[in-house]
A and B are shown apart, each in its own frame.
Chain A
Amino acid sequence: MTPRAHSSAASWAGALLALPLLLFLLAAVAWPLAHLVRRAFLEDGEALRQVMAAGRYRTALVNSLALSAAAAVTALLLALGPAWILARERFRGRQLLRTAISLPLTFSGVLVGFLIVVLLGRIGAIPKLIEALTGRQALEGAAYTFGGLFLGYVYFEVPRAVMTLESAFRRFPWELDAAARTLGARGLERMLRIGLPIAAPALRSTLAVTFSASMGSFGVALILSRRFTVAPLEIYTEMTGFLNDEVAGALCLALALCTLTVDRLLALGKRR
């Protein structure tokens, strides 16, 4: 919808309406974040250097990056089929399935962590099931491994991926697919030459959303990571355990930077 030209009086009214938002952002977001950045660079960026050097911090960041990336891609792959079906087909129970899949969107990270423990903790349902069926003990405490955290991230991200992809698929111009069919293109060829290129922006933004969700995920890690660490957890321990504010601040910065970079990279491919 093209914006209409309006008087300067209207502009003033607009500015007035948006003023509370501006004040809030300045006071509650901009000011604290600026403070954070400043402190990270204190003493010639000593804290930053500490963070980037090898050691626990680097490991934490790398863990976060690796886990988030792997979980994002896995969630995307798992979400493709269901998103397509929900967007394209009409069937009884569709709304029910949709509600069921989007229910985890309301779970905070802690809850997801708990649910993984319910499944794979020391007295989790799956090990119990395996024992009941085969008599062997397996996967006990699997929740607390890398695999467990990975699963937690995936559980967290799949509903997001499905919902984001579904709305993208619903907006997909299906006539293009019909046109490709009339020109003789079979299923796979259609998907590769028409479907993927047109859906690519949606896929990219889904990856961005899921990736940044896991990068910042705290609750899940709090419950599940016992033997290793991820960045948000490090920030927490630095802050509350060691009272090492500068390092915690630098970690925050590094984390935010990583997330933003990946986000920008994914968006870059969009500009064609």
Chain B
Amino acid sequence: MRSGFLRRRLFRRTGIALTALLALALLAPILITAAGAFSRAEWYGQRSEGAEVDSTPKLFRYVLEVWGRALLRSGQIVAVVVPLALLIGAPAAWAFRRLAFPGSRLLEAAALVPLAVPGVALAFSMIQCVQGVPRFWLLAAGHLAYTIPLVVKTVGNAVETFDPRLEDAARSMGAGRLETAARITAPLLLPSLILSALLVFAVSWGEFNVSFLLAPPLLQTFPAALYLTYTTNSFPVAAAATLVFLAPVVPALIAIQALGGEEFHRGLPA
């Protein structure tokens, strides 16, 4: 007579097993890549770079030497894009939800438009019509176009669930406007700001489409360098470079998960 509940338990177990299988399938290539970087076996072929990379530490040192500038470049871009995205996007998100002005809804929708435009198209059109601007700032602009929508959505959601009556309560107890902002509003919105920063970091660090097209060949970002290792270097070098790329991003992802980042479901542009 317990068939109904037994069947449900079976479904549950099977479902969990299938989910685990999917996770494993998704992780498998990463694990193989890591193996490629850390093992000494030669099943993937010769290391064309020769003795420079015949041991694991030498491998990573090689990657950092050859592609260190790209790494630096990515770091510079991220250091500029994260604060700018927050500065441009967060106040606007607040304004959209709490200080609506005519056209605010239109502007909010417009802010999300870049997400529907393929990166290639945007990069291409940017190059076309903006001639005198240094490439670095064009690059930053491209990154911003794809990260500001994330900030607007994330902070916007937080502002929407923020009850203005909390501020009223604080004011009724005698707190001034600034004090209310500092002691009530800011702490409650801080998680969404941190989450936004993490999201912007993750997207900007891994952004390829726009960067590949906009950056001049000598000053590529790291994802573009990755592409070069995939096409010109041997497997261990490519694997090591991939791991270097992933190192800052994985903790960021874990932090995003912990903070409940729903807006990251779109992930990076392909």
Contact = CB atoms under 8 A, between A and B. Distances in A.
A–B contact (CB under 8 angstroms):
yes
Contacts of A245: 128
Contact of A222 (B97, B161, B227): B227
B30 interface: yes
Contacts of B98: 14
Contacts of A249: 124-125, 128
Interface string A60-96: 0000000000000000001001101110010101010
Interface majority SS (helix, strand, loop, mixed), chain A: helix
A155 B121 contact: no
A28 interface: yes
Contact of B30 (A110, A115, A117, A153): A115
Interface stretch (B50-58, B65-73, B189-197, B242-250): B242-250
Nearest to A119: B29
For A100, A128, A255, which residue has the most chain B Cβ atoms within 10 angstroms? A100
B121 A103 contact: no
Among B20, B208, B226, B267, the most chain A Cβ lie within 10 Å of the Cβ of B267
B44 interface: yes
B12 interface: yes
B115 to A, nearest CB: 8
Contacts of A263: 116
Nearest to B126: A32
Contacts of A107: 206, 268
A216 B266 contact: no
Contact of A110 (B111, B144, B226): B226
Nearest to B164: A4
Nearest to A251: B121
Contact of B266 (A93, A100, A110, A213): A213
In this complex, the interface size class of chain B, counting residues with CB under 8 Å from chain A, is 35 or more
Nearest to B253: A106
A12 to B, nearest CB: 7
Contacts of A118: 29, 32-33, 36, 235
Contacts of B126: 28, 32
Contacts of B19: 81-82, 85-86, 97, 101
A225 interface: no
B234 to A, nearest CB: 10
Contacts of B270: 108-109, 112, 153, 156, 213-214, 216-220
B124 A22 contact: no
A223 interface: yes
A13 interface: yes
Contacts of B253: 99, 102-103, 105-106
A13 B95 contact: yes
Interface stretch (A50-58, A134-142, A157-165, A192-200): A157-165
B95 A32 contact: no
Given A108-B208, A118-B32, A236-B120, A100 B267 contact: no
B114 interface: yes
Contact of B107 (A22, A33, A117): A22
Contacts of B63: none
B230 A1 contact: no
A39 interface: yes
Nearest to A106: B249
Centre residue among B19, B87, B206 by max chain A CB count within 10 A: B19
A235 B121 contact: yes
Interface string B13-40: 0011011101110111110110010000
Contact of B242 (A27, A93, A114, A232): A114
28 contacts: A3-B100, A11-B102, A18-B95, A20-B87, A21-B152, A25-B110, A32-B126, A35-B125, A36-B124, A85-B15, A86-B19, A89-B12, A97-B20, A102-B253, A103-B253, A108-B206, A108-B208, A110-B208, A114-B242, A213-B266, A215-B118, A217-B269, A217-B270, A218-B208, A219-B209, A235-B120, A252-B124, A252-B125
